[in-house]
Amino acid sequence: MEWLKSVKVFTSVVEYGSLSAAGRQLGLSPASVSRHINDLENGLGIRLLNRTSRRLSLTEAGQLYCDKVENILGQIDEAERSVVQLHTVPRGTLRVHSRMVFGHQYLVPSLKKFFDKYPEIKIDLQMSNFPVDIIAQGIDIDIRMGKLEDSSLVARKLANSDRILVASPSYLAASGVAEKPEDLYEHSCLTYRLNMGMPVWRFRKDGQADTEIPVQGCFQSDNGQAILRAALDGLGIAMMNEWSVQKHLKDGSLVHIFDDYKVSFSEFENGVYAVFQKSRHLPLKIRLFIDFITEEFRELLQ
């Protein structure tokens, strides 16, 4: 940085024609200006300025050096302006990762509203059902679900993500309503494939011990949208995130059963989170996107 300061002093001397004039513009004494020029010349091993008591002029080397460093200083100024604008004007590319169901159902439909508000921000969206290393993969924000492990990352909760059991009216009419967890042995349960073993659903009710029920049915998948479609088509009972079936509960195409139990196939405490790296200077584009989805999903998930 001292070299850069000396270069700026040198170009100021050239611009204003004297050490004292450059010093007045920079708030430096003539002696300080002279020291910066001497440091440059000593470092280069060549004279840049011809100095007499009456006039100052550039040597041939000084003219060449001045032309080159003025271009460099212009690029540095432009770089500084660009970096500052990233924190003052919302722009740039934002890399986001989301679980597929949440991405399709809530994130993508919200993007137009976001782009209308921040037209200079671009989004590179990746979706999968697998955890990602946001640091190694250069992800700015990861939309995660479930119980978060302890981490050095920052997490902002967007919504609860309780699981519920649902079935279509046509399935319940044909197969009967399950009234207690043990009744599921007689029902077709549409399960999310986590491993090759038999899926187990867990039930929790105030005042009672947790119950675990091994379940099976005619359909299993590693895709939540596929399980939802199967439930809507009357193929059985499905465990879904409550937010993913809200509109179907409202229009009656699905019915919430076991509504006096908490249900899960893993942890009972779950949520939807925006996860990002801890930073003293969080880029404006990240902060604005997080604020936007926090407010947007608060409205959507009511």
Write out pLDDT tens, residues 92-128: 899 999 988 888 888 999 999 999 999 999 999 999 8
186: left (phi over 0), alpha (psi -120 to 50) or beta: alpha
Backbone phi, psi, residue 266, to 5°: -145, -105
The H or E element that residue 229 is part of is helix 224-232
SS3 261: coil
What residues does CATH 3.40.190.290 cover in the chain? Answer: 163-264
The H or E element that residue 278 is part of is none
- 148-157 pLDDT, tens per residue? 775 778 888 8
The H or E element that residue 93 is part of is strand 92-98
CA distance 256 to 164: 7
Q: What is the pTM of this model?
A: 0.62
Collect the ranges in the chain with pLDDT lower than 50.
Answer: none
CA distance 300 to 256: 19
What CATH superfamily is the domain 92-161+270-300?
Periplasmic binding protein-like II (3.40.190.10)
Q: Which residues contact 293 (CB under 8 A, 6 or more apart)?
A: 107, 110, 143, 158, 274
What residues does CATH 1.10.10.10 cover in the chain? Answer: 2-85
Task: Note the pLDDT of residue 238.
Answer: 96
CATH topology for the 2-85 domain:
Arc Repressor Mutant, subunit A (1.10.10)
What residues does CATH 3.40.190.10 cover in the chain? Answer: 92-161+270-300
Give the β-pairing of 237-241 and 189-192: parallel
Q: Which CATH class is domain 163-264?
A: alpha beta
State the sign of the Cα–Cα–Cα–Cα dihedral 100, 103, 109, 115.
Answer: negative
Task: Note the pLDDT of residue 141.
Answer: 94
